[in-house]
Amino acid sequence: MKRIGIICAMAEELEELSKLLTLEQKHTYYDIEVLECNLGGKKLFLAESGVGKVNAARCAQIMIDHLDLDCIFNIGVAGSVSKEVKVCDVVIGKKLVQHDFDVTPFDHELGYVPKVGVYVESDKRLVEIADKAMDNSHKGIIASGDVFCTKKEMSEHIAKTFNALCVEMEGASIAQVCFLSKVPFLVIRSISDSPDGSENKLTFEEFLFESAQKVAKELIEIIKQI
């Protein structure tokens, strides 16, 4: 895999990753600026998608259409919905689900997306490489939805319904685009907050940069192993 796309939702997440790389050139597709970098002979293409599923999906498809990518990573921060996952822990998304996609009146499970299913599985090889490259990481289901989850009731519902480890706002939509476009992908998130209330003194703002920095460093080590 020589051409790797990396999508971050926010500027803060992209900035922490770009600090670890040397910029070679920039590309612009519509309003998406893509930073081209090199790491050990591999071409890395970094982009800030914007927050939310539509922004993330749009960015993924634009990158796939224009950059001839071998795989896509989505990295950033997330909120824990599991008592086993603490602030600054890293979660490897073995499966992704859209917790707010609801066509249950048509006799489908919550999260079911037509032509996709409830869960989208990450590329098994990338999951294996990430698991070996990182110590003390968690591996499981990441849930995505167009809502910043702060309420205990919502986080408990997501955890119970989907057996999710954390929640964020982009990963599953990128997973869907990659699945439909047949591009290998992996979502990796570092925990910045715990909307379940177990660590209510630790806020998103306090740990955004630390969590973003950690997942960026972990991604670099993973890419070195590809």
Q: Annotated active-site positions, please?
A: 13, 193
Residue 9 is given by DSSP the state S
Could you write out the DSSP letters of every residue in 127-159?
Answer: HHHHHHH-SS-EEEEEEE-SS----HHHHHHHH
Q: Residue 159, SS3? A: helix
- Report yes or no: 181 and 64 within 8 Å, Cβ to Cβ: yes
- Report yes or no: 89 and 140 within 8 Å, Cβ to Cβ: no
Give the chain's length: 226
The rounded Cα 105 to chain-centroid distance in angstroms is 29
Cα angle vertex 73, ends 70, 76, to 5°? Answer: 165
Structural tokens at position 182: 């047949």
In 3D, which of 47, 102, 97, 103 has the Cα closest to residue 76?
A: 47
CA distance 171 to 163: 16
Phi, psi of 2 (to 5 degrees): -110, -20
